[in-house]
A = this chain, B = another copy of it.
Amino acid sequence: MPKDRAPTRIQKKNRAAILEAALNVFSAHGFRGSTVDQIASEAGLSKPNLLYYFPSKEAIHTALLSGLLETWLAPLNDLDEEGDPLQEILSYIHRKLQMSRELPRESRLFANELVQGAPRIHNALSNDLKVLVDEKSAVLSKWMDQGKIARVHTHHLIFSIWALTQHYADFDVQVRAILGEEDPFEGAEQFIDTLYRKLLTP
């Protein structure tokens, strides 16, 4: 294992290559379905070499998840109490949908983890995530009190945004099997936008 000093040029490069490869592999096959050899070869390293940078398969997975959690939650974090309610929500949705389009691997990484009961991130869910959701939920609630948007169950409103946007990344194969050549995201953006405008207009 590399010493605990400032990372060398090579360390930086290889760690990054490993995480990138791991994202590919884990998001496509899940934790159990991925092998260290697969990740190593995708990263252009030998297996022992990879294990020189991360102590175990589990460690790579953990590093990936925790490294990406912040990115993943950033859009919700940015929901601004001071902004225009409907606009804030619509642009949150827009960003989430864009993430499904541009970061589908990240979405599927979390999806894989969640569907299987989130054995490795249960903690983050009931702490960080819950806190964030409750906080933003309160903001939504305030907007509803002020009559700025229609009154609905705030938690379910947030769930619905996650469900609708992440669906296009997580179940991409299914969506494409049905839509054929059509670009899923064109129609999705339009559809979802309409949906929330109608739902939330007081």
User: B-contacting residues of A (Cβ < 8 Å)?
Assistant: 28-33, 108, 111-112, 114-118, 122, 125-126, 129-130, 133-134, 150, 152-153, 155-157, 159-160, 162-164, 166-168, 170-171, 173-175, 177-179, 187-188, 190-192, 194-195, 198-199
Partner of A159, one of B111, B152, B155, B167: B167
Q: Are A153 and B198 in contact (CB under 8 A)?
A: no
Partner of A114, one of B126, B170, B188: B170
8 further contact pairs, Cβ within 8 A, besides A111-B115, A157-B191, A159-B168 = A30-B115, A129-B174, A150-B198, A153-B187, A155-B187, A163-B166, A163-B171, A194-B199
Look across to chain B and name the residue whose beta carbon is closest to the beta carbon of A33.
B32
How far apart are the CA atoms of A190 and B160 in the complex, in Å? 13
Partner of A195, one of B112, B167, B178, B195: B195
How far apart are the CA atoms of A40 and B167 in the complex, in Å? 33
Q: Are A116 and B177 in contact (CB under 8 A)?
A: no
Chain B residues contacting A30 (CB-CB under 8 Å) are 30, 32-33, 112, 115-116
How far apart are the CA atoms of A165 and B91 in the complex, in Å? 23
Q: Are A155 and B130 in contact (CB under 8 A)?
A: no
* A155-B179 contact in complex given A125-B174, A174-B114, C-beta closer than 8 Å: yes
How far apart are the CA atoms of A117 and B24 in the complex, in Å? 13
* A152-B191 contact in complex given A159-B175, A164-B164, A167-B163, C-beta closer than 8 Å: yes
